[in-house]
Structure 1
Amino acid sequence: MGHEIDFLPVGEESKGGDAIALRFGNLRGRREEQTVMVVDGGYTDCGDALVEHIKKHYGTDRIDIVVSTHTDQDHICGLKTVLEKMSVGQLLMHLPWDHSEAMERARTSAYWRGRLNDPARRMLEAAMELEAVARRRGVEIVEPFAGVGSKDGVFNVLGPTAAYYEQLLSDLLGRTAASSAQLAYEALVRKMLEAAKKLVPESWLAESLRDDGTTTPANNASVVSLLETDGMKMLLTGDAGIPALTHVADALEDIGFAPGDLDLVQVPHHGSRRNVGPTILDRLLGPMENGVTRGIACVSAPRKNPDHRHPAKKVTNAFLRRGYPVYATQGATLTRRHDAPNRAGYGPAQSLPFHHMVEDDGGA
């Protein structure tokens, strides 16, 4: 069984996003022998790029499954264009109002919506907008919890479970205005520190990445999925953080997965140092080992990226130490292909180097 997976470029300056097209099956056969998917759509203008990419390289205007991993704008906005301009069989997206009375009230009442904190309101409104397009276009909606997948078993959702998603919703809704303001202030301080951040030495044997990174409940609610064709395993992570990825590692181990079994892994959250740590990477990728290559890692990063915020150098170093050289979009489409037709204009990509100078976290 062949496959093609394409990470399209998203973002020009410091902000990136995710827009992924893929297909699997008999890629030299009829369209009916293939499954075509989109996982996230980047910003609004990325939707048109996805549509044109699929028409040109996959030769179809029909998508079997669209996956919205979570509601951040750099992942969800382009999906509305995809739903509008393509024939779509199924949309996998979470419906927060089906898992929270507060979200259900806010969905039908502007008054209650106004009482939500900003992150919860943004999640709700983004989900409502995408759902409305899908309903109008007659697209079936399925919530992507662990165990959901394609009928042939090639594509499977590993997380979140419904229970974990509801816990994350509760955490998100529990944030007060004061706590949201504090988080916004902390984010501003982080940006200021990053702008003035100095680099510090790092060697192959001395890893500075830490296990205490944290991300938002919305990011941890990201759909994490596994694609398996011809014995090859590919993990798509969205913006999942350490707690979410720990649940995924548990699920993988339950089905006999061993660290390092992945042939391709998406670097979570565009390479943020707050989404991975040594312990979870050891469980997913295997231990640090010199001179070994177990697979590859792909990361969506903006083209110019002047501050080199994403991907963090210490993160790409951590993947490389564990046998996963990192390839970044940075303005170009990354493609991984197996048993697929040749594609004109594509050639070998260059992985990111090992960095001997990395970001200084300043003990924070």
Structure 2
Amino acid sequence: MGYEVDFIGVGKESKSGDAIAIRFGNLYGGRDEQTVVVIDGGFKDVGAEVVSHIKQHFGTDRVDLVISTHPDQDHINGLETVLMELTVNELWMHLPWTHNQGLADKFKDGRVTDNSIGERLKDSLEKAWSLFCLAEEKNIPVYEPFTGLSHTSGHICILGPSESYYEELIPQFDGMPAAKEQVEASFLDKVASQLKQIFAFWGEDKIYDDGVTSPKNNSSVITQLIVDGKRMIFTGDAGIEALSHAADQFEQCVDPAPLRIVQIPHHGSRRNVGPTVLNRLLGEPLSEGEERELLAVASTAMQGEPKHPRKAVLNAFTHRGARVLVTRGSGICSSSEAPQRSGWSPVNPEPYHYTWEEE
């Protein structure tokens, strides 16, 4: 059994996004011996690239499963084209407007109701609502990807979020009324931007366990794929809190398959990973020159730096033995037991960064 995992290039300028196309099974056999999966579709114009990629490289116009990790435009907008132009058997996405029971009690304004909150979520998450409506129109079954959901192929399962954790996050989504207990969110703080020179030496993690990302990002679907004794994890924009919950599931998994591919969350943002959760998922840091058989990929825009990716994040994955790749607006494919592709060549791993400029 083989696989192809394609991180499709998103962001020809400075805005990063995610679009991943996956094929696994007998890749030398017929379509019925293979499973095709799409995780996110990038911006609207990327949807056509995803469609073209699947037709050209996977030789099919049928997708077994589409997963929308969360409703940010750089992840969800292109999926409309995927659903319109390909035959999609199943869509996994969260439906926050259906999790509105008792939600009105969470807010200061006593005039809001559970129904009005549900309608507000449809309005504020317009692209998610329209994608759901399109799926219904095309009779595509929709399932919510909470912890433990698995695909009929037997190779895919969801590590996070749990339904209860997801429902904790909804009241904090953008566009919601003021909560009864308003929490200061460090990720919303506005500070003056100033570049500074950073110096590092091998093994020094310049990321921290107190990083905070938005509730919507923490609602990202975290997907595990195990093929031919190799484990892969796709993280969307999940932050430390969400990844820590997923690590609980990761550690409890009875399948001993070692981790071979991991998506660096949120395009390599520094607030999404910390040393503790990386140690749980990847293993403890190694000595300089040591490596694990592990590929870590950050999907970033061509001109996304210094924000996407952060050099400190890339170094942290390198410390733990990963071979780190960055898309920078171009496609990257990792494959095993798969036909060779004409015109595709090996990508040089990211060098270790001893100095860089950072905001």
TM-score normalized with structure 1 length: 0.89
In structure 1, what is the equivalent of residue 107 of structure 2?
Answer: none
Q: Is the 8 A contact 2:187 2:213 kept in 1?
A: no
Q: Is the 8 A contact 1:261 1:285 kept in 2?
A: no
Q: Secondary structure at the match of 1:153?
A: coil
Q: Find 1:267's aligned residue among 260, 264, 271.
A: 264
Alignment of 1:104-123 (within 5 A): 105-106=115-116, 109=119, 113=120, 122=124
Q: Deviations over 1:162-203 (max 9, x none)?
A: 1111111133346459979987862x42xx42xx22122111
Are 2:261 and 1:276 aligned? no
Residue 138 of structure 1: how far off its partner (Å)? 1.4
In structure 2, what is the equivalent of residue 25 of structure 1?
Answer: 25
Q: Deviations over 1:256-305 (max 9, x none)?
A: 478x9310100000000000011111111111112222201011011123
Are 2:298 and 1:288 aligned? no
Q: Secondary structure at the match of 1:248?
A: helix
Question: In the superposition, relative to structure 1, how do residues 184 and 204 fare at CA in structure 2: closer, same or farther (>3 Å)?
Answer: closer
Residue 77 of structure 1: how far off its partner (Å)? 0.1
Cα distance between partner residues in 2 of 1:278 and 1:143:
30
Cα distance between partner residues in 2 of 1:219 and 1:267:
13
Residue 332 of structure 1: how far off its partner (Å)? 1.5
Q: Is the 8 A contact 2:211 2:273 kept in 1?
A: yes
In structure 2, what is the equivalent of residue 144 of structure 1?
Answer: 145
Question: In the superposition, relative to structure 1, how do residues 108 and 319 fare at CA in structure 2: closer, same or farther (>3 Å)?
Answer: closer
Q: Is the 8 A contact 2:100 2:118 kept in 1?
A: no
Q: Deviations over 1:9-66 (max 9, x none)?
A: 1112321000000011111111011110100000000000000000000000010100
Question: In the superposition, relative to structure 1, how do residues 73 and 179 fare at CA in structure 2: closer, same or farther (>3 Å)?
Answer: farther
The share of aligned pairs that are identical, in percent, is: 45
Question: In the superposition, relative to structure 1, how do residues 257 and 269 fare at CA in structure 2: closer, same or farther (>3 Å)?
Answer: farther
Q: Is the 8 A contact 1:14 1:309 kept in 2?
A: no
In structure 1, what is the equivalent of residue 98 of structure 2?
Answer: 98
Cα distance between partner residues in 2 of 1:108 and 1:255:
35
In structure 1, what is the equivalent of residue 73 of structure 2?
Answer: 73
Question: In the superposition, relative to structure 1, how do residues 82 and 177 fare at CA in structure 2: closer, same or farther (>3 Å)?
Answer: farther
Name stretches of at least 5 consecutive residues in structure 1 with no aligned partner.
none
Are 2:132 and 1:135 aligned? no
In structure 2, what is the equivalent of residue 216 of structure 1?
Answer: 214
Amino acid across the alignment from 1:127: A
Question: In the superposition, relative to structure 1, how do residues 245 and 108 fare at CA in structure 2: closer, same or farther (>3 Å)?
Answer: closer
Cα distance between partner residues in 2 of 1:357 and 1:328:
18
Cα distance between partner residues in 2 of 1:177 and 1:345:
57
Q: Secondary structure at the match of 1:325?
A: strand
Deviates more, 1:276-285 or 1:163-172: 163-172
Amino acid across the alignment from 2:49: A
Question: Which protein is richer in helix relative to its size?
Answer: 1
Question: In the superposition, relative to structure 1, how do residues 177 and 51 fare at CA in structure 2: closer, same or farther (>3 Å)?
Answer: farther
Residue 241 of structure 1: how far off its partner (Å)? 0.4
Residue 161 of structure 1: how far off its partner (Å)? 0.9
Alignment of 1:318-357 (within 5 A): 318-357=316-355
Question: In the superposition, relative to structure 1, how do residues 346 and 87 fare at CA in structure 2: closer, same or farther (>3 Å)?
Answer: same
Aligned pairs, how many?
Answer: 345
Residue 360 of structure 1: how far off its partner (Å)? 5.4
Question: In the superposition, relative to structure 1, how do residues 248 and 197 fare at CA in structure 2: closer, same or farther (>3 Å)?
Answer: same
Q: Is the 8 A contact 2:98 2:118 kept in 1?
A: no
Residue 147 of structure 1: how far off its partner (Å)? 1.3
Q: Find 2:253's aligned residue among 249, 252, 255.
A: 255
Name stretches of at least 5 consecutive residues in structure 2 with no aligned partner.
105-113
Deviates more, 1:19-28 or 1:147-156: 147-156
Q: Secondary structure at the match of 2:296?
A: strand
Cα distance between partner residues in 1 of 2:252 and 2:118:
40
Q: Deviations over 1:196-239 (max 9, x none)?
A: 22122111132221111000111111000111111101100000
Question: In the superposition, relative to structure 1, how do residues 252 and 202 fare at CA in structure 2: closer, same or farther (>3 Å)?
Answer: same
Q: Is the 8 A contact 1:312 1:359 kept in 2?
A: no
Cα distance between partner residues in 1 of 2:186 and 2:146:
28
Q: Is the 8 A contact 2:230 2:260 kept in 1?
A: yes
Cα distance between partner residues in 1 of 2:284 and 2:357:
22
In structure 1, what is the equivalent of residue 302 of structure 2?
Answer: 303
In structure 1, what is the equivalent of residue 44 of structure 2?
Answer: 44
Amino acid across the alignment from 2:329: G
Residue 358 of structure 1: how far off its partner (Å)? 3.9
TM-score normalized with structure 2 length: 0.90
Amino acid across the alignment from 2:330: A
Are 2:196 and 1:198 aligned? yes
Cα distance between partner residues in 1 of 2:315 and 2:184:
33
Residue 325 of structure 1: how far off its partner (Å)? 2.1
Q: Deviations over 1:108-134 (max 9, x none)?
A: 75xxx3xx7xxx953x32221110111
Cα distance between partner residues in 1 of 2:340 and 2:136:
37
